Structure 1
């Protein structure tokens, strides 16, 4: 792994039509940096998780976390696994007896912002997208399923509606509360907590001040996240960003740069090894870089408790003849101890549509009114201080 040199950024204020590249608030890569590169919202997972946690602080049942495993499969790293408590219960009842392949669940404000900007730019295969704040996926009660066609009856039996014209993959749990706007309020609260001298309105509206703050916000999350007693599930490794494709062709090679935070109490030594959980051979095994089908290899650098680093993991798509989700859970192992887990999810597609976003077109917003853009009223301009850049470590083996 090699260290990347620090950089500084110049911050524009006010209502901006162009996208910034770096966050001057933390000298980290900003949300807006990804509007013109890549096609996965997994690059803003860190900030999106903080928003989900903040919503849980405001109301613990508004969003609850679920995990892949058993019959539940994620089709990309962009899936943010949160739903309202009733919707989660209904989902788990379906998955107790049926396989469920999830393309998208809760979608936080930064993720929707990226999808909307990609749609505006004609990028990433997105043919339609709701404006930030209006998407069904910001409601906490929506799912997109890759295997939707064989799960309609089972989902309906647990209260999931399948009634959006032209959006076959989409389901809504209409008995659950619609929390749209809460992710905007959560972001505003997080921003103000980290910028007490450059506050924006905490009104749940997507006004120009909120939009400008979002563009400049660090994609991997603020220094200070949710501070209530409700804690996110701690696996020892908090995944802050996964930069890599949502979809690849059979036999294709791909690299995933995973920004991870050591949330444990002990350092990860350089000899820490990435092993396939359960010791089974991974279908994403890359013969050029992995030690074996059950082991990626050592991380080659020490990451202290509370510190962050970026690990590059290379994969090869299995040879399949139909669209197939592929999922591998990796365990960080040192001296026989499991220190944390890292999940890799990707859809293998033989249909020639690799490289596009794994999240379905977002064509339904229920007409909820959310202000936004340069024509909307709202928050004032702001500026922020520069802080040192986190040193980023990269692991690459060929």
Structure 2
């Protein structure tokens, strides 16, 4: 059976209690000490990406995973600039491309930077928030980089960053670093009219304080120009980026019902397309094609937390495994949930999927940012006082 909790995504409190009005949500700052995957801020990150799309149409476009275009973890945010997206999909038309990291938001970069500062999650180096190449919308880290270098080069993807073999840059696309900071500032002000901050695209103490206090699953009011293509909006995935062969893991997926009808308790989570999953766990799933019924109704506008237990296949080399699940009831699909994880024999399942990002500096390849001029500051942050415990099956 699938375990479902209905209501808010968590009960953590922000590091800065004077900022914001999101007491019932888990704050971004909570996760500096309690996880190693940026998938916990996917809801807020999608809102930031959508806000950028409202400000600059075409600056970020979503790409869809496929049999050839594979995501290696739930932390991968599948957005790129329009030109970069097109050229990536052309490469993936006739070969497998395994994506470790694509566009990254200031919320994700904040967590990575804090993990680096705290010596957590295997992060060897990290740019300050607002300055990562991945915030520019034209960078990729590829797991199978060595087999696709010529094909990527033929489509405008540069691969000449010293000591960072996984990293590619699409130099023909604009570098939009700073736009994610501005997007967050706009979202904060939209939801906090009594506590507005400057909308300048610069990452400084005021912006960081609000980012720490912001709800990881996203604000009540997101991008005003965007529309959802399905009723199930995944706003958080709490689980590992990497697991060992034969190991079990749990993914607590927070989904928001953005539709107009209730999802009945009999709604089932099945493998999309009628196929089977390599992550099948015979102890908890109904079959290799179905995880089970959600067991509790989810009303329109409410959040439900679906816990999916998985069993990693036995492999001898790093292998990305991806399964798309469908929330279905009586022939009606409410939407999909994607679970991606890398099965690694190297015993580094406690490592972030972004740990391979050895080069994450501010001015690689001479890119020109179209955002503000981010401020640099070195104040260390206070770790979160409350650690959000993962919701696991009993």
Fold agreement, TM-score > 0.5:
yes
Residue of 331, 341, 344 corresponding to 2:339: 344
Matched, 1:231 2:227: yes
Matched, 1:109 2:113: no
- Count of aligned positions: 372
State how 1:1-398 maps to structure 2 within 5 Å.
1=4, 9=13, 12=16, 24-228=21-225, 230-232=226-228, 234-359=229-354, 360-367=356-363, 370-373=374-377, 396=393
User: 1:7–1:37: structure 2 CA closer, same or farther, 3 Å change rule?
Assistant: closer
What SS is found at the alignment partner of 1:120?
Answer: helix
User: 1:178–1:336: structure 2 CA closer, same or farther, 3 Å change rule?
Assistant: same
Q: Which moved more, 1:363-372 or 1:277-286?
A: 363-372
Structure-1 separation of matches of 2:38 and 2:137: 17
Q: Which moved more, 1:365-374 or 1:89-98?
A: 365-374
Q: Which moved more, 1:189-198 or 1:364-373?
A: 364-373
What SS is found at the alignment partner of 2:197?
Answer: coil
User: 1:11–1:157: structure 2 CA closer, same or farther, 3 Å change rule?
Assistant: closer
Query: Does the CA-based 8 Å contact 1:3-1:394 persist in structure 2?
Result: no
User: 1:306–1:12: structure 2 CA closer, same or farther, 3 Å change rule?
Assistant: closer
Shift of residue 262, structure 1, vs aligned partner:
1.3
Q: Alpha-carbon deviations, 1:190-236, whole Å to 9, x = none?
A: 000001111000000001000000000000000100012x435x232
Query: Does the CA-based 8 Å contact 1:310-1:395 persist in structure 2?
Result: no
Query: Does the CA-based 8 Å contact 1:317-1:348 persist in structure 2?
Result: yes
Structure-1 separation of matches of 2:250 and 2:12: 27
Query: Does the CA-based 8 Å contact 1:24-1:216 persist in structure 2?
Result: no
Query: Does the CA-based 8 Å contact 1:53-1:231 persist in structure 2?
Result: no
Query: Does the CA-based 8 Å contact 1:254-1:315 persist in structure 2?
Result: yes
Query: Does the CA-based 8 Å contact 1:237-1:264 persist in structure 2?
Result: yes
Query: Does the CA-based 8 Å contact 2:141-2:357 persist in structure 1?
Result: no
Query: Does the CA-based 8 Å contact 2:91-2:151 persist in structure 1?
Result: yes
Query: Does the CA-based 8 Å contact 2:12-2:27 persist in structure 1?
Result: no
Structure-2 separation of matches of 1:2 and 1:143: 35
Q: Alpha-carbon deviations, 1:279-308, whole Å to 9, x = none?
A: 222100011100001100000011112211
Structure-2 separation of matches of 1:103 and 1:159: 19
Normalised by the length of structure 1, the TM-score is 0.89
Any unmatched runs of 5+ in structure 2? 364-368, 381-389
Shift of residue 32, structure 1, vs aligned partner:
0.4
Structure-2 separation of matches of 1:344 and 1:251: 17
Structure-1 separation of matches of 2:12 and 2:34: 20
Normalised by the length of structure 2, the TM-score is 0.90
Shift of residue 185, structure 1, vs aligned partner:
0.2
